[in-house]
Structures are given as C-alpha cells and as structure tokens.
C-alpha cells in the first residue's frame, strides 16, 4: 500500500480525466495473455459509460462558455432591401389628385435600411452569478468524471478476478469429478467381485452426479464472467494472466480505520462531487437574490436608410450612445418564489452531501474490516486444505483396512475440494476488497492497478469458449457511435 495522499484539487481530477489519451498508445499489444493493466487501458479507452461521462463533462464546460458570453460585448446588425409599389386614388373636388395632379409621386420605388447595435453589460449581478454557478458545476462534473473512472477501474478489476476465481473453482470441480469418478469405478469393480454392497456403488454414483453438476455450473460461471469483461472493454481476450500462488496477503496500510476514513473525506470523488453540489445550489440562491438588483449597460446604435422615391429621395442616418438601467419593482412575486425554491434546493443538496458522507464512512469502515479479516481468512483457508488432505489420506487408509466405508471417503474428497475452492474465493476476496477500499478512499487509480498487476505471473489462463459464426454474431456488441 502507498502512503496517504494529500487533499486532491479539481485540477488533479481534471488531469486524471485525460489519462486515457496519455496511455492510448500503449494499447496495441501482441496476441498474448492479457494482464490486468492492459485490460484496464482498453476499458479507459473503450468503456461506454466513461465515454458518456466525458461527453457530459464537455456539455458542462460548454455551458460555462455560454454563461460567460452574456458578460461580453453584444454586437448585432440588421438590414433590409425593399421594393415598394404604391397605389393612389384620392382626388380633390375638381377631379385632380390630392398630390397635385395626375402622375404626381412614384408608384414604384426601392428602399434600403441598415441598423448596427452594440451593448456591454456594466453591472448585471444575475449573469455574473450564473457564471460563478457554471464554474462550480465544472468542479462538480470533474469529480463525477473521476468517480466514473474509478468505477471503471474497480469494475474491470472485479471482472478480471472473477474470471480467475471462476477458473480456479472450475479446476477444483474438474479434479473433484475425476477423483470421484475413479472412486466410482473402483466401487463398481469391488461390487462385481462381491467385496461391497450395491448401496456403496449408489452412494458413489450420487456423489459423482453431484460433482458433475457442480463442474457444469462452474463452467457456466466462467463463461458469464468472461463475457462481462467484454462489455466493459469492447474487446475479446483468449487468455489472461493468473495470480501468483504465493500471494502476499497483508493488512491494509495504513492499518488504521480512522486514517482510511480521513483519506476518504479528503479524496473520495463522490463526496467531493456532493460537496461541490452544495456550492452549486448556494450559487443558485445568489442568482435568485440577484433578481431584485438593477442592471446597467452601455449601448450604441447606428441607423441608415435610403430611398429612390420621387417624393422623398435620398438617405437618412442617425446614431445613439448612452447608458440603460433596468430596475425590477414588482414581478408578481416570482422573484420571492424563486428565492424560496433555490433555498430549498440548497437544503436538499446539503442533506444529499451528508448522506453521501455517511455512506462513504460506512463503506470504508466495512471494507477495512473485511480486508483485515480476509488476511486471517486466507491463512485459515490454506490451513484447511492441509487439514482436509490429511483427513482424506487417513480416511482412505481406513477404507483400505475396512474401518471406513466409501461414503466416508467420498465426503472427505468433497471436503478437500471444497476447501480448495474456498481458498480461491478467499484470495480473490482479499484482492477485490482491497481495491474497493482504495476506491472508497479515493486513491484508486492506474498506479494502484499497476501494483496489483505486479502480483500476476507469466502463466496464462486460457478459455475454451463456444465458437462459430452464429455464436460470434450473437455475441457482437456493436461498434461505438460516431457523434461527429
């Protein structure tokens, strides 16, 4: 275990969010047994949930730019060109046109106009506080992205070690089936020569059928876990590296539950995201209160118009420069209601932060206890294998001299292989629980995965999976989308 870390910053999490870009070049590997680090890099590059989180982070960043734009100069232009046609039918009492006689004025003419406008907010508390809220939202989304990355890391590690766990259990079940199968054949031979009764053959047959069913279930579990890894990485692996037999099983460092809790309060991205959410809600209250404040802006505009009308020909232009102020006096009570609404939202986010804090504390304490107990459990499970092997040897010796029956031998064999399977369970429980503890403490990252990766050995675990075009087509999970 590494030493406790200092309190993270938003920049640190933002840097970690760029990690897949830095390691993408290392993903091209030759066809060989994949290790945990290689598969982790594949997941960081291809995982759909993580890609969605990165896109969501981009949405929030773009939202900040939108809010920031309201405080910058606003410049606009508009214009039009118009063809006019005018009909006149009014006349005076003498029969001449009101305009001075027949043919006076144009019935067709063209006109054009152009308007340029510019404004700059000088004092707009609401927009400025909306920019501040968008900055707090970026902080919150940075922590959420970091939490998603950590979740991907733990999901990949769990899937990887679930495969190895299922493989070791399968190997134990296969060995159990072979051993009981040999015992069944021996019982049949002894029955044929009259040394034992048919009941002992039936007992051996029942044990064999049970071991066969357990072996089939173990094969199914291996298949399911192998395919779960494909969902996380969008890659298929023919083999992966196995865990060292002599796994160093040590208590978590630091070996203090309170220190782990303190690390979690400083580093857990979910806790920090909820804490940032409180600040987002507090900014919402400030925005609502700013609705009662005046706004001040500077403006300038220029207007130009031209016409070829015979009645009024030529162009006209004008310009304005000034200051504009707006003070809301009464909004029908909407501002007060908005303040109450945002205040309740702040209160809700504070309770959500407290709930996340309590949940994290409970998770850290539970995982620390589990890891500490796993250390003793692995040792006890290893000793149980030794004890059950000795018990099996003694039972077989008693069976050969007639003091034990075949049922005793079968039970001893099942106990031994169950102890082997339980030992595999305990070893992988230790590794996964240790990584989960690091996740809750907020210290799970690629270097932590590298430390676990060093506990793997060169021997690979291969898998015989169903094949054929039909199976490959059914298992195809599809290409990722191309949003651009």
Whole-prediction pTM value? 0.79
Question: Residue 28: which of 10, 9, 41 has the closest Cα?
Answer: 41
Q: Classify domain 10-72+125-292+334-475 at the CATH topology level.
A: Outer membrane efflux proteins (OEP) (1.20.1600)
Strand-pairing partners, residue 317, are: 304
Lookup result for tokens 């897949």: 20
Distance of CA 256 to the CA centre of its chain: 29
- Domain ranges for the chain: 10-72+125-292+334-475
Burial of 251 per CB tally in 10 Å (0-12, 13-18, 19+): middle
**456-462 and 239-243 beta bridge pairing:** antiparallel
DSSP assignment letter at 433: H
Instruction: Compute how many other C-beta atoms are within 10 angstroms of the C-beta atom of residue 31.
Output: 7
Report d(CA 216, CA 170) in Å as an integer.
8
Report d(CA 385, CA 248) in Å as an integer.
18
Instruction: Compute how many other C-beta atoms are within 10 angstroms of the C-beta atom of residue 185.
Output: 12
484 residues of the chain, pLDDT tens digit each: 444 444 455 545 544 443 443 333 334 344 467 889 999 999 999 898 999 999 999 999 999 999 999 899 999 999 999 988 877 666 555 555 444 444 455 578 888 999 999 999 999 999 999 999 999 999 999 999 999 999 999 999 999 998 888 888 888 888 888 888 888 888 888 788 887 788 888 888 888 898 889 888 888 888 888 788 888 888 888 788 888 888 888 999 899 999 999 999 999 999 999 999 999 999 999 999 999 999 999 999 999 998 887 666 677 889 999 999 999 998 889 999 999 999 999 999 999 999 999 999 999 999 999 999 999 999 999 999 999 999 989 998 998 888 888 788 888 888 888 898 899 889 999 999 999 999 999 999 999 999 999 888 766 776 655 554 444 554 455 555 655 5
Instruction: Compute how many other C-beta atoms are within 10 angstroms of the C-beta atom of residue 160.
Output: 31
Report d(CA 256, CA 246) in Å as an integer.
25
How many residues are recorded in the chain? 484
Q: What is the DSSP secondary-structure string of 106-175?
A: -SEEEEEEEEEEEEEEEE-HHHHHHHHHHHHHHHHHHHHHHHHHHHHHHHHHHHHHHHHHHHHHHHHHHH
First-residue to last-residue Cα distance in the chain: 42
């Amino acid at each position: 275990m590494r030493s406790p870390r200092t309190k993270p910053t938003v920049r640190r999490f933002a840097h970690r969010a760029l990690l897949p870009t830095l390691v993408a070049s290392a993903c091209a590997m030759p066809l060989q047994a994949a290790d945990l680090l290689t598969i982790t890099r594949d997941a960081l590059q291809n995982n759909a949930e993580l890609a969605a989180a990165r896109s969501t982070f981009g949405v929030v960043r773009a939202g900040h730019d939108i809010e920031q734009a309201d405080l910058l100069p606003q410049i606009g232009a508009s214009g039009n060109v118009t063809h006019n046609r005018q009909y006149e039918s009014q006349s005076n009492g003498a029969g001449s046109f009101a305009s001075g006689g027949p043919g006076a004025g144009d019935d067709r003419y063209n006109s054009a106009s152009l308007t340029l406008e510019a404004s700059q907010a000088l004092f707009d508390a609401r927009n400025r506080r909306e920019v501040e809220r968008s900055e707090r939202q970026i902080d919150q989304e940075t922590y959420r992205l970091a939490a998603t990355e950590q979740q991907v890391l733990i999901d990949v590690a769990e899937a990887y070690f679930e495969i190895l766990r299922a493989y070791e259990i399968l190997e134990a079940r296969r060995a159990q089936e072979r051993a009981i199968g040999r015992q069944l054949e021996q019982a049949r031979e002894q029955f044929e020569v009259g040394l034992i009764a048919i009941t002992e053959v039936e007992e051996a047959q029942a044990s064999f059928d049970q071991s066969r069913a357990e072996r089939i279930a173990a094969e199914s579990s291996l298949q399911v876990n192998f395919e779960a890894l494909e969902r996380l990485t969008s890659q298929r692996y023919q083999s992966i590296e196995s865990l060292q037999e002599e796994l160093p099983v040590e208590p978590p460092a630091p070996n203090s539950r309170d220190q782990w809790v303190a690390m979690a309060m400083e580093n857990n991205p979910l806790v920090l995201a909820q804490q940032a959410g409180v600040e987002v809600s507090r900014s919402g209250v400030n925005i609502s209160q700013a609705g009662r404040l005046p706004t001040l802006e500077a403006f300038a505009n220029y207007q130009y118009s031209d016409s070829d009308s015979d009645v009024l020909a030529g162009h006209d232009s004008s310009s304005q420069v000034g200051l504009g102020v707006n003070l809301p006096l009464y909004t029908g009570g909407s501002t007060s209601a908005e303040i109450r609404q945002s205040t309740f939202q702040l209160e809700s986010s504070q309770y959500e932060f407290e709930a996340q804090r309590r949940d994290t504390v409970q998770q850290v304490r539970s995982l620390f206890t589990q890891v500490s107990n796993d250390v003793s459990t692995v040792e006890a499970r290893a000793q149980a294998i030794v004890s059950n092997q000795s018990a099996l040897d003694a039972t077989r010796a008693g069976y050969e001299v007639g003091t034990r029956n075949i049922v005793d031998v079968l039970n001893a064999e099942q106990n031994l292989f169950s102890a082997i399977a339980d030992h595999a369970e305990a070893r992988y429980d230790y590794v996964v629980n240790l990584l989960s503890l690091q996740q809750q403490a907020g210290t799970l990252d690629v270097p932590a995965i590298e430390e676990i990766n060093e506990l793997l050995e060169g021997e690979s675990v291969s898998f015989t999976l169903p094949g054929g075009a039909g199976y490959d087509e059914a298992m195809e999970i599809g290409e990722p989308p191309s949003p651009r």
